[in-house]
Amino acid sequence: MRNTMNIIATLLAGGALLAFSPAAFGQTPDADSRAKVSDGDLKAFVRTYVETQRLRDIYEPQIQNAADQAEKQEIQKQAAEELQDTLEGENLTVDDYNRIFRIVNSDDGLRVIVLRMIEEERSNSR
């Protein structure tokens, strides 16, 4: 159960940071940072990020409105299972996701590109 909760905390908290990070528009990505993440990995990261935000929108209110601790834990377990399924569907681990997240947030130009990819993915998901 502890590992399940770590998955939720890592993905939901990490995703929120990317959404609110200031982007330095006009800067080009550092070639070294981009070389550390393949285009396929970036696409998988973006799809996972968008799905994580969707799940967060669904489960956060349910968790906050849970009648008791047992109900809260059951909802958290369900959310963690869906997050794990999302990661597995994209062939990512929590460590992979976090590694890509750190690279994206350390490179302003790459962050701009990823934020655009996220917006595109969101519009395609509707």
Count how many domains the chain has. Answer: 1
User: Is 82 part of a structural domain of the chain?
Assistant: yes
User: Is 34 part of a structural domain of the chain?
Assistant: no
User: Is 31 part of a structural domain of the chain?
Assistant: no
Q: Name which of 91, 104, 96 is nearest 34 in CA terms.
A: 104
Helix-helix angle 69-89:2-20, to 10 degrees: 70
pLDDT, position 5: 59
User: Is 57 part of a structural domain of the chain?
Assistant: yes
Q: What is the domain extent for residue 109?
A: 2-14+40-125
User: Is 29 part of a structural domain of the chain?
Assistant: no
0.85 cut: is pTM over it?
no
Per-residue pLDDT tens for 19-49? Answer: 433 333 333 445 555 558 999 999 999 999 9
User: Is 9 part of a structural domain of the chain?
Assistant: yes
pLDDT, position 12: 57
Least-confidence region, from 14-18, 45-49, 52-56: 14-18
Position 1 pLDDT exceeds 70? no
User: Is 86 part of a structural domain of the chain?
Assistant: yes
